Amino acid sequence: MKPRAGTVELHPLAGIGEVQPGDDLAEILAAAMSMAGIVPRAQDILVVTSKIVSKAEGRFFDLADVSPGQEALRLAELTLKDPRMVELVLAESVAVVRAAPGVLITRHRCGYVMANAGIDRSNLGGVGDDQVLLLPENADASAARLRRDLAGQFPEPPAVVISDSFGRPWRIGVVNVAIGASGLPAVIDMRGQRDRDDRVLQVTQVALGDIAATAAGLVTGEGDEGVPAALVRGVSWSGDEAPASALVRPVEQDLFR
C-alpha cells in the first residue's frame, strides 16, 4: 500500500468568513466548494484548519475565568507567560516536556507534543483580549463528523483532514500537520515492501495526513490570508482508513523525552 500522485492540485476555499460557535461547518464548507466550482471526487482531501473547527465547536475560553495554581505560577515565572494561560495549558496537557523563557512545550491530552497545548490567541475574530481558543475536543471525531455531514451534500464526500501548525525539533518555523482525519489512511505502513533495488523496507511509514496538511498550508497560510480550508486533489491511495491519532508516536517509543 503506497500513496500515488500525478499532478497534485491545491484549491483554496476563500470567502468563508468568520465562523461562529454553533455554525454548521459542513454547510459552510460545501458552499465554499460550490462557490469555487469544486465538486468533490473520490480521494479528494479536504484540509480544514483546526481554528474554524474549534470556533464552530465553541472551544473559546475566557482567561478572566481562570485561577492559576502554584504550578502554573511557577511555570509562568520561568516562561514569562501569563499565569492564567499557563494554567489552561496545564489543564489541556498530561505532561510538561520543556519550559524555558518564552517556551512552554507540553504533551496534549490527545498525545500531540506542541507549544502551549495548541491554545491560540490569533485570528479569533475580534473577541476580547482575554479570549483564547482551545483545540477541538477530539479532532478525529470532528473529522469523521464533518465527513459524514458532507456525505449529505455530495455523492462522493472528500476525505477530511483537520490541520494545525506545529514547530519541529531542530528546525526553524512551523508546518501544518494532521491532528484529525477521516476517509484516508493518515499513516501508511510500507514496512515489508521492496524498493527499486529489491531491498525490504524496514522502517518506512508515510504520514499521508501530515503531507496533505502541509501541502494545503501553502494556500491557507498562517497570517491574515483568511483561507481556512483547501481541497487537495490528485493523490490516490489504497488500504484501510487510519485516524490522525495513528500518527502520534507512543510515549515508550519517544527517544527524546
Same domain, 152 and 108: no
- 233 located within any domain: yes
Same domain, 50 and 170: yes
Same domain, 195 and 145: yes
Lowest mean pLDDT among 32-46, 120-134, 180-194, 231-245: 120-134
Summarised one tens digit per residue, pLDDT across range 30-42 is 999 999 999 999 9
Same domain, 14 and 35: yes
Task: Give the cell for residue 208.
Answer: 499521508
Same domain, 145 and 160: yes
Same domain, 89 and 187: no
Give the whole-angstrom CA distance, residue 218 versus residue 11.
Answer: 10
Average pLDDT (200-219) is 89
* pLDDT above 50 for 17: yes
Residue, of 222 and 179, whose pLDDT is higher: 179
**How would you label 146-159 residue by residue, b for 16+ Cβ within 10 Å and e otherwise?**
bbebbeeebeebbb
- 253 located within any domain: no
* pLDDT above 70 for 176: yes
What total of structural domains would you count in the chain?
2
Same domain, 108 and 224: no
CATH code for the domain of 82:
3.90.1660.10
Same domain, 219 and 151: yes
Same domain, 148 and 237: yes
- 93 located within any domain: yes
CATH code for the domain of 156:
3.30.1330.100
Q: Terminal CA-to-CA distance of the chain, rounded, Å? A: 32
Q: Which of 88, 118, 148 corresponds to the end of one domain?
A: 118
Q: Which helix (H) or strand (E) holds 133?
A: strand 131-133
Listing DSSP states for 143-206 in one string gives: HHHHHHHHHTT-SSPPEEEEEEEEEETTEEEEEEEEEEEESSBSSEE-TT-B-TTSPBPSS-EE
- 39 located within any domain: yes
Residue, of 204 and 105, whose pLDDT is higher: 105
The 3-class secondary structure across 30-57, one letter per residue, is HHHHHHCCCCCCCCCEEEEEHHHHHHHC
User: Which structural domain, as residue segments, surrounds residue 68?
Assistant: 61-118
Average pLDDT (114-118) is 94
Residue, of 126 and 9, whose pLDDT is higher: 9
Average pLDDT (95-100) is 95
Using DSSP, state whether 232 is helix, strand or coil: strand
- pLDDT, residue 1, reads 47
Q: Are 216 and 8 in contact (CB under 8 A)?
A: no
Summarised one tens digit per residue, pLDDT across range 117-171 is 999 887 776 666 789 999 999 999 999 999 999 999 999 999 999 999 998 888 9
- 254 located within any domain: no
Percent of the chain with pLDDT strictly greater than 70: 94
* pLDDT above 70 for 90: yes
Same domain, 242 and 220: yes
Q: Are 176 and 217 in contact (CB under 8 A)?
A: yes
Q: How far from 224 is each of 68, 216, 227, CA to CA, in Å?
A: 32, 16, 8
- 65 located within any domain: yes
Lowest mean pLDDT among 26-40, 60-74, 165-179, 213-227: 213-227
Same domain, 161 and 204: yes
- pLDDT, residue 126, reads 62
